[in-house]
A and B are shown apart, each in its own frame.
Chain A
Amino acid sequence: GAVVSQHPSRVICKSGTSVKIECRSLDFQATTMFWYRQFPKQSLMLMATSNEGSKATYEQGVEKDKFLINHASLTLSTLTVTSAHPEDSSFYICSARVGDQPQHFGDGTRLSIL
């Protein structure tokens, strides 16, 4: 149980493109979803916390107009990187949680902007 699916796993696109990443909880309804960013050989940096039906809460330094988060249902959250540039290249990971239970993570999306 507690499977989180993240899609796509890998994206390569040109600078200026907008990219949407999906995060789904497959066998449970997630009250909260999180979006993280991970640089090579670094820890996970929390970008935003998303509760179904409400606006995401962004961490300090994360541009909400750059990283659009939509949490339309209890099983789906999306992260859209708008007008992506090479510095946005990174590994993006989502996680989902029910209530106070542990977070379960997706397999991540490797985003490469040329």
Chain B
Amino acid sequence: GEDVEQSLFLSVREGDSSVINCTYTDSSSTYLYWYKQEPGAGLQLLTYIFSNMDMKQDQRLTVLLNKKDKHLSLRIADTQTGDSAIYFCAEKKDQAGTALIFGKGTTLSVSS
């Protein structure tokens, strides 16, 4: 199948770390992405990881990839109220493939 699964909701307090998890089914995926969507807006590319990497860090964002378990996570350190949004995990099947397959999105709610 081509399902990308994510938990639907996550609630954290400001200053805490947030971890959003994602599982995918296609082991041939070459790139895995995290996008952020704020209300009424399009998707903003946050970060992406190539399938031969285990970890990628970019400022407050850390992506971990467990290819054996087909598990991807996004950790946001020192979560801020401005991080409240929907976060989509997406996979791209191969270099010649064109479309992304998205999960249903995780709504992150950050309380002060």
Residue numbers of A with Cβ under 8 A of B are: 4, 6, 32, 34, 42-44, 46, 49, 93, 95, 100, 102-108, 110
17 new A-B pairs (CB below 8 Å) besides A6-B42, A105-B35, A108-B40? A34-B98, A34-B99, A42-B104, A43-B102, A43-B103, A44-B43, A44-B88, A49-B99, A93-B42, A95-B43, A102-B48, A105-B42, A106-B42, A107-B41, A107-B42, A108-B42, A110-B40
**Interface flags, B20-52, vs A, CB<8A=1, else 0:** 000000000001010100001111110010000
Selected contact of A44 from candidates B41, B45, B102, CB within 8 Å? B102
Q: Which of B58-73 contact A (CB under 8 A)?
A: none
B98 and A105: CB pair below 8 A? no
B88 and A43: CB pair below 8 A? yes
Q: Which of B68-112 contact A (CB under 8 A)?
A: 88, 95, 98-100, 102-105
What chain A residues lie within 8 Å of B88 (beta carbons)? 43-44
Q: Is the interface of A mostly helix, strand, loop or mixed?
A: strand
Residue numbers of B with Cβ under 8 A of A are: 31, 33, 35, 40-45, 48, 88, 95, 98-100, 102-105
B98 and A32: CB pair below 8 A? yes
